Structure 1
Amino acid sequence: MSHQPKLIPDPFEFARREDALRGELDARNLPRVQDVLRKTEEVQPVSYALRGYRLEGKSYMAVEASAELLMQCQRCLGDVRCTVEVDSRLLLVPRGEPLPDDELEEDDFDPVHAWRDFDVLAAVEEELLLALPLAPTHEDCSVPVAKGNGDDTSPFAALRGFKASGGAKTDD
């Protein structure tokens, strides 16, 4: 993965100049994303691009990212590859100013506080987290079945006897 700057010194100037920044990173290096990944030595690539612009006197940052992440299937508990695509807009609000709540009804951007040294990787990580599937699964996955070890007894069969006996016995 190529080494890219991690900070934008002045995000409002970045937007005014309509600058752009591209890079690649390993998702295993993003602490909050790493928590939902399968543990592997394999690189989990993330490509990202940030582009600043101004619209109607306001500063924005477009964040795009794409990733191939190895996660745990919530049906079979095996490995599943998830393609995650991010395409979002951030309204840059100077620190100390309130986030606009009247514009929150618009779904095409999210207001964020910004100041000097805008953390690129934190912004990419936040947008990836928002785009992750809630319950990753294989497209053609089914619930796991018991292995053919000849034991067809339900793991809950012991509970049936427990209920019939009236519960656990305690020493008085």
Structure 2
Amino acid sequence: MKSRAFVPEKLDVAALAHDDASLSGEWPAASLQRLADSAAPEAPASGWPALQWSLHGETRQPKGGKAQIWLHLTASGQVALTCQRCLKPVHEDIDIDRWIRFVDTEAEAAALDVDSDDDVLALPRHLDARELIEDELLLALPLVPRHEACPEPLAHVDDLPVAEADERPNPFAKLAALKRGGSA
């Protein structure tokens, strides 16, 4: 039997699992547009190291049930995001190790996903694994990226320049004068 060639952008997950096959590679970070859009302006994705990924399909046969299709996804890389404290680039390592179970319908996936710790998806005819990996990388990004200790000291409130008082009179001062019976 000749082995099949699998392409990540048009992956037959059922065949990958049936063959107990694996697929791996690396992509330039800049080729994943949505991930590249999260880059700090001073550290664009074109300067990031390549992202490593691997997929392994597996068929599991539970006792008394029908065969289950599983996909083991791993990915890792380093991204540069904007630190929310000092607004300088902060390098974050991202590592993903996830099992995904595939079922026949969206309704079945929704029902099982509620009760399961694993991700459950409806089995597509062809899966764009590149898009799935990018989705998982985006979900793994920190919500608030920041350095453990910022490279430059942060400005204290006391060090910030004080704004000059407005030349306009305070409208509430006029109102208070009117209430006291005086003129404005």
Q: Structure 2 length as normaliser, TM-score? A: 0.73
Q: Are residues 1:110 and 2:119 paired?
A: yes
Identity of aligned residues (%): 26
Say which SS state the counterpart of residue 64 (structure 1) adopts: strand
Larger fraction in helix = 2
CA contact (8 A) 2:48 2:80 kept: no
Question: What is the number of residues matched between the two proteins?
Answer: 156
The structure with the largest alpha-carbon Rg is 2
Unaligned runs of 5+ in 1: 168-172
Of the candidates 95, 100, 106, which is equivalent to residue 90 of structure 1?
A: 100
Alignment of 1:1-172 (within 5 A): 5-39=7-41, 40=44, 41-55=46-60, 56=62, 57-94=67-104, 98-107=108-117, 109-141=118-150, 144-145=154-155, 153-154=161-162, 157-158=163-164, 161=166, 165-166=170-171
Deviation, structure 1 residue 8: 4.5
CA contact (8 A) 2:112 2:120 kept: no
Q: Look up the equivalent residue of 2:30 and give its one-letter code.
A: R
Say which SS state the counterpart of residue 144 (structure 2) adopts: coil
Deviation, structure 1 residue 93: 2.5
Say which SS state the counterpart of residue 134 (structure 2) adopts: helix
CA contact (8 A) 1:33 1:129 kept: yes
Change (3 A) 1:90 1:143: farther
Larger fraction in strand = 1
Change (3 A) 1:89 1:152: closer
Change (3 A) 1:86 1:153: same
Deviation, structure 1 residue 15: 1.0
Unaligned runs of 5+ in 2: 1-5, 173-184
Q: Structure 1 length as normaliser, TM-score? A: 0.77
